[in-house]
Amino acid sequence: MKVLVSDKLAENGLRILEKENGIEVDVKTGLAPEELKAIIGAYDAIIIRSSTQLTEDVLAATKRLKVIGRAGIGLDNVDIPAATKKGIIVMNTPQGNNIAAAEHTLSMMLACARKIPQATASLKSGKWKKSQFMGVEVYNKTLGIIGTGNIGSIVANRAQGLKMRVVAYDPFISEERAQQLGIELLSLDDVFARADFITVHTPLVKETRNLINKEGFQKMKDGVIIVNCARGGIINERDLYDAIVSGKVGGAALDVFEVEPATDNPLFGLSQVVVTPHLGASTGEAQRNVAEAIARQIIEYLLHQTILNAVNVPAVSPEVLERIGPYLTLAENLGGFLAQVCSFRIEEIDIELHGELLEKDTEPIILSTLKGLLTPIMGDDVNFVNARIMAQQRAIKIREAKVKDTGDFTTLLVLKVRGKEAEHAVWGTLFGKKEPRIVRYDDFIIEAIPEGEIILVKNIDRPGVIGNIGMTLGKRGVNIATMQFGRDKLGGEAISLLHLDSTLDDKTIKALTDLPNIESVQSISL
């Protein structure tokens, strides 16, 4: 067995790998894409951090690669669908650097509040100018946390120790869980309005890109301080720059950036901005933790076929995986579909397994459903190992049922989610035992493939609606791959589900929403 370590890994991880019988380890860091393509075919496993880019092109050169291990959480640099298609397991280490990232967040917040880096630079240059570095206290201030997962919840706990009031926005946390954390759960706009400090702890996914932008800054208190130690791109950097220059934002503490490495960013020219070069996980303890964790996970899989912390397959034997693989894809994509059409906080999910599914090992199917449901908001933090736990931590009630009746289908998976405001349901099955399909959404009978870039349009059943949608997309150069339709009755409500060759921007979505007889337009990525 041969393992390639293509990014820097702590020595304890290398020692664990090298001492295992039959494991040959090559450390080759800083490889260009073409260099990596030339050698990757000789390895059974590769361990990476954030520098190595495992694109579809690179993965196409693999011949015997079985597993990709990320020493850390983020997997933005791995084409997970391409790896999955090639049967390559993708693992990460979601717990190893939580403390380090949370502590760095608080350090950055305090450094920005008290202007410590600016004062340090001034004094070291031979100046003693106390009046230029008047700061603000965090005591009795309100901290707004966007995203209360592993790291966000630790930040909340530590901030409470500083006697801060903590409010949060998280569409996947229940009131019960918020009470356990001692935080007040608010809408995003209310967090903007009430917080003196705002810190983000979400993954960078479609729903969170530019989550904080010009419109959001306008809703905030004057002098608010912004902290981002999560992912670049969650905060629109151009809008942040303008908000600081205008005086709306009092300061910002940034560890991550839209483009990295970041060495020539306009924000660096602002005295109110404190920056570090993506150091959230850069403690000796964190690096040793993730190195040891990923080394042991790689060994467990290569030598014993045990899957730990995989993001693209559950922990099952290869034989079981081969039997239920298509059902896992169906379950995960249906869960992801529901998560993205829900505008309310999900408090309950019913998972009904009908027909042939009763004969399968149902736990991986349940986990796939939960992973699909949580991933659009939580991103790489959720995997097949922790999906059930994370749902329970957010007090999402999970109900499972096995039903013999399948109606017109041999197999049926039915998911129903509820919140205080509303509920949605989706029915899915397999065509030809391999091809996943949505066969019903709420009250609408429809046949659609749950994958790719999709828009779901809800409209009044009137002549011309479909033509208007097509013309609007055509004028903007958006190609429609497929279209499916359903309606509850003649002249009643209808839905259109369109597969597109590209993701829609906000302006195109608004143009569709403004068309006659259109009730809503939702963008979904599966």
Length, in residues, of the chain: 526
**Lateral strand order in the sheet of 24-27:** 24-27, 2-5, 45-48, 67-70, 89-91
Question: What is the token pair recorded at 311?
Answer: 């993001």
Closest listed residue to residue 68, CA positions, set 80, 85, 56: 80
Closest listed residue to residue 196, CA positions, set 130, 273, 267, 144: 144
Helix 465-475 × helix 506-513 angle, to 10°: 150
280: CB partners within 8 A, 6+ apart: 97, 100, 101, 104, 105, 229, 230, 255, 256
Closest listed residue to residue 426, CA positions, set 366, 324, 339: 339
Helix 284-304 × helix 11-19 angle, to 10°: 20
Q: Report the distance separating Cα 239 and Cα 498, nearest Å.
A: 32
Instruction: List the catalytic residues.
Output: 231, 260, 278
Q: Report the distance separating Cα 471 and Cα 383, nearest Å.
A: 40
Q: Cα separations (Å) of 520 from 98, 157, 341, 480, 511?
A: 38, 39, 10, 18, 11
Closest listed residue to residue 72, CA positions, set 287, 351, 264: 287
CA dihedral 513, 514, 516, 521 (to 10 degrees): 0
Q: Where do runs of H (alpha helix) occur along 79-223?
A: 80-85, 98-113, 116-124, 150-161, 175-181, 188-194, 214-218
Closest listed residue to residue 16, CA positions, set 287, 297, 285, 281: 297
Q: Report the distance separating Cα 128 and Cα 120, nearest Å.
A: 10
